[in-house]
Amino acid sequence: MRVLVLGSGAKDHAIAWWFSQSRLIDGLYVAPGNVGTKTIAVNLAIDPSDPEQVYEACQTYGIDFVFVGTEAPLFTGVIDFLNERGIDTFGAPNRALKLEGDRNFARMFSDRHNIPTSSHVLFDDEEKLSEYLKRHEGERFVVKSNAIAPSRIMVDSSDYSTLMDFSRGLLATGPIILEEHLNGLPITITLFLDNKGYLMLPTSSDYMKVEEGGLPTGGMGSICPVPLQKDLSQALVDSIIEPVLFGLKAEKMAYKGVLTISVIITKNGPILVDYHVRFNDPAAQAFVPLINTDIVDILDAMKHDTLSSLNLEVSNQSAVALVVASEGYPEKPIIGKKLESMPAPLLYNSFEGAPRYFFGGVQEYEGKLVTTGGRCVTVVGVGYNIMNANKNAYKGVKLVNFEGAWYRQDIGNRFFEN
């Protein structure tokens, strides 16, 4: 099998690395890729969101299968375009995209199928929003765009001026969602779906702010797996996973691909926050190194609707993913900074037992590694428990050096500190 992975972030590097471990592929390509994917695959200089360019690349390089794990190509119709032309794909088709692309629809979908979710109100008018906030003075809310947007495009506050100032910018482009603030443990559930069932990957917990209580970001770290009690794990299946899958079938949105569900574990049980019809970053970087099952075997089971009977082989170790970001991220990241040299075996993720390095906003220019975005490198430490994995991640991150580099100092701490 010859595989093309679409994307250029750390998540896409992790997925490509997973494919590179397969015994069942004989060609691996990434479009457009980055400096990390270059070490394990052939990078293609095409626009992954342009269906015609992707299809032409498939013809040129004899691609059998296209894997779309990132959002942009999904929302430009790449999946349907390729399927109509006989190219096998992994990713959500157009009919399922509104689950992520329209938050109000997603909330109503949850309500229709009795899935616990945060209370919310949709606004497209600044005056009505202002009146509502004044009536609920002092209450804490989360403001998000109703349409698909980077997860950092939100604010969580009880201050009227903060909420209004942020909302004005979003309202200029479309409606917003005002949600209640939820206290609890955030977890990320990742499911492979087929027509008859699902396969659940190890559950993670993501850190989505620059610091505790700070600005929201696209994600600064993740731990995997999350230590959950048996009754809580069953509650996730009974109150969220099974009703979601039933709803997808009932509303003719079921598909073969991945579904990621963001949940908050509150004192009243699990509450669904968001749906994503793709992998999440940095959750993917955390769980990929722990999975021993060949990804092609998983995709073959998906093709034949046997996912629910597949035995997923997962390491008994833990992973801590730590994101190294550029100065100024998430508001105005400063790019163009040179990375200091790293030992080649680490750069290529070929040293067994060492942390994994998945590259995002980094490219190679004239033989030098240079930052090109806000989140540059995800360092994943693996160990016999979360504390040990944490130590390995923070030891490994010392080898990622560029001017202005920073990262959170507390990833994983809440799971082993008293």
pLDDT at 215 (0 to 100): 73
Of 212-216, 314-318, 387-391, which range is least confident? 212-216
pLDDT at 210 (0 to 100): 87
> Is residue 326's pLDDT more than 70?
yes
Please tell me the distance from the alpha carbon of residue 259 to that of residue 236, in angstroms, as a whole number.
14
Tokens of 350: 């070929």
> Is residue 155's pLDDT more than 90?
no
Q: Single out the residue of 400, 346, 348, 347 nearest to residue 377, CA to CA.
A: 400
Read off the pLDDT of residues 58-117 as tens digits, 9 standing for 90 and up: 999 999 999 987 888 988 999 999 999 999 998 888 899 999 999 999 999 999 999 999
| Domains with residue ranges and CATH for the chain | 2-91 (3.40.50.20), 119-180 (3.30.1490.20), 185-309 (3.30.470.20), 318-415 (3.90.600.10)
Across 215-231, average pLDDT? 90
Read off the pLDDT of residues 243-302 as tens digits, 9 standing for 90 and up: 999 999 999 999 999 999 999 999 999 999 999 999 999 999 999 999 999 999 999 999
Across 8-21, average pLDDT? 96
pLDDT at 150 (0 to 100): 54
Distances from the Cα of 131 to the Cα of 84, 123, 156, 160, angstroms: 49, 11, 18, 11
pLDDT at 152 (0 to 100): 56
Q: Residue 330, preceding bond cis, omega within 30 degrees? A: yes
Read off the pLDDT of residues 344-388 as tens digits, 9 standing for 90 and up: 888 888 888 899 999 999 998 888 999 999 999 999 999 999 999
Tell me the pLDDT band of 149, cut-offs 50, 70 and 90. low
Q: Are 184 and 273 in contact (CB under 8 A)?
A: no
3-state helix, strand, coil in the chain (%, to 5): 35, 30, 40
SS (H, E, C) 72-90: HHHHCCHHHHHHHCCCEEE
